[in-house]
Amino acid sequence: MKNMKIDDTFVKDVLKRSEQKTTEQLHKILDKSDKLEGLNYEEVGSLLMNKNKEIEDRIFKIAGKIKKEIYGDRVVMFAPLYISDYCVNKCTYCGFKHDNEFTRRKLTQEEIKEEVKILENMGHKRLALEAGEDPINCSLDYVLECIDTIYEMKFKNGAIRRINVNIASTTVENYKRLQEKEIGTYILFQETYHKESYEEVHVAGPKSNYDYHLTAFDRAMEAGIEDVGGGVLFGFYDYKYEVLSLMLHNKHLEDKYGVGFHTISVPRLCDAKGSSKDDYKYLLTDDEFIRLVAILRLAVPHTGLILSTREDENIRKQLINKGISQVSGGSAVTVGGYLKREEGGNQFEVTDGRSNEEIIKWIIEEDMVPSFCTACYRQGRTGDRFMELAKSGDIKNVCLPNSLLTLKEYSIDYAGEQLQQKANDIIERKIKNIEDEGILKTTKDYIERLEKGERDLFL
Ligand code: SAM
Ligand code: SF4
């Protein structure tokens, strides 16, 4: 089977055909998504084209329902770790672009340890490792060494248990080497699937090669990486085209490798050094953004949806109830930024600047369970085995208990008295939602063992 390609005419045709749907037809589509069956291209297109308020309300309602049914009341937590801001590319929108003049740096292994200590102290167990592209200053060997350093660190209360990696598109050989390090998800944003727009904003450097970037996951999966995370940086082209293209990409991976995206990220363009988002023509309104995330939830019910601190509290609040399953908290988007939350050198401007503890408290107040779980990947439930679990609906019986156990761990090890109380309250309430008696008993037993000092207990 061939590598990923976007058929521009096809995408535009689907969108055109999707325009003419009646309210009755749209309700039929929603009946289907209400049964968690996912959506085909034309159905996704039709919902994207919808302007009827009644339909929109139903989209939100179903998105909330899917989130609850498949993921339960959980929100998975992670934090980015920027290891190097050297970059040979000229992505017009990015603070790390080659033309920006500032003193660039990459972390030494000692500095990595400092950053990871701080992240661990915030309670994080799952990181997204981030770097600009520079084969000399930030070689793959360096990236692999950083991964080793992080996984080797053991703390009183545990360790970083999963490292997702967001580095430039590379060769099958290099992906094999990454895979050998037991990374979590390999994340790469397509930025935009629209070729002309892609070429307008990626003016020089290896990333300016649209096809090479678009086929990165083919190479990653060929190399044996099973969990890949896609994304679009919304603002470069019509969001409807982008969402449909994400669906095409997902289907391509499913057909060719048996499993689609493990996660989809939905970043929106922010201001950055040398770039104002207002210079871009396709910025989304908040309403459009919320709608598109909800439609993604309907379209790919079993794929994790990630929202970063690029969004403010209000948007994040709405979206954790409409489909988002993973959020970052307390993020620094500068190399060495946890040790020194410095001015300048940011890749982009963070909008939600709350601390991780504040985010955890907020999630609990939203009646959801912040989860630091990394069990699936450590139990070998990756790729299609994870999707089987998700599709069987059993994810709730595994993930809910694990989220409660990791929140318990967090509360004992990192939370102040008040937050500890809040965590205990929500654990007590949500544990009642575990349906299987055996699992309920094990979860209660594990909680007691955590209280007595054991750590890292999971199902
Ligand atoms: N350098 C690699 C790359 O470009 O694929 C690795 C990831 S880069 C450190 C992380 C992501 O940040 C990029 O994929 C891009 O989508 C996002 N980003 C860059 N500039 C941004 C901006 N101004 N606003 C929001 N996100 C931005
Ligand atoms: Fe470099 Fe990535 Fe920024 Fe582009 S988006 S300039 S490749 S760090």
**pLDDT tens digits, 381-437:** 777 777 777 777 667 778 899 999 999 999 999 999 999 999 999 999 999 999 889
SS3 content of the chain, % helix, strand, coil (to 5): 50, 10, 40
Residue 143 makes CB contacts below 8 A (sequence gap 6+) with: 83, 129, 131, 165, 167, 178
- In 3-state terms, what secondary structure has residue 448? helix
Q: In 3D, which of 446, 437, 454, 435 has the Cα closest to residue 395?
A: 435
pLDDT the model gives residue 342: 42
CA distance 280 to 348: 15
Ligand (nearest to CA of 232):
1
Confidence of residue 309 (pLDDT cuts 50, 70, 90): confident
Q: Which contacts (CB < 8 Å, 24+ apart) does range 151-157 have? A: 151/181, 151/182, 153/113, 153/116, 153/117, 153/120, 155/117, 155/120, 157/120, 157/409, 157/413, 157/414, 157/455
Judged by DSSP in three states, 60 sits in: helix
Q: Please give the Cα distance from 79 to 34 (Å, whole number).
A: 32
pLDDT at position 346 is 62
* Residue whose entry in the numeric block shows the structure tokens 């660190």: 153
133 CB under 6 A from ligand 2?
Answer: yes
The residue among 416 and 72 whose pLDDT is bigger is: 416
Query: Looking at per-residue confidence, does 442 or 385 come out higher?
Result: 442
CA of 278 to the centre of ligand 2 (A): 19
Ordered by where they begin, the domains of the chain are 69-377 (3.20.20.70), 378-451 (no CATH)
The angle at the Cα of 383, spanning 406 to 14, to the nearest 5 degrees, equals 115
In sequence order, the β-bridge partners of residue 265 are 231, 306
312-358 tens-digit pLDDT: 999 999 999 999 999 998 899 899 998 876 444 566 677 777 889 99
Residue 393 pLDDT: 67
Which helix or strand (DSSP H or E) is residue 163 part of? Answer: strand 162-166
* CA pair distance 433, 429, nearest whole angstrom: 8
Distance CA 357, CA 125 (A): 14
* CA 186 to each of CA 7, 119, 290, 374, 383: distance values in angstroms, whole numbers, following the listed order: 25, 20, 25, 15, 12
**Calpha distance 444→422 (Å, rounded):** 18
Residue closest to 130 by CA, chosen among 175, 99, 86? 86
In the chain, the amino acid numbered 200 is: E
Amino acid at 26: L
User: Which residues touch 394 (CB under 8 Å, ≥6 apart)?
Assistant: none
Pocket-forming residues, ligand 1, beta carbon under 6 Å: 93-94, 130, 132-133, 166-168, 188-189, 191, 233, 267, 269-270, 272, 275, 310, 347-348
> What is the residue with the minimal CA distance to atom 6 of ligand 1?
167
Dist. CA 213 → ligand 2 center (Å): 12
The predicted model scores a pTM of 0.95
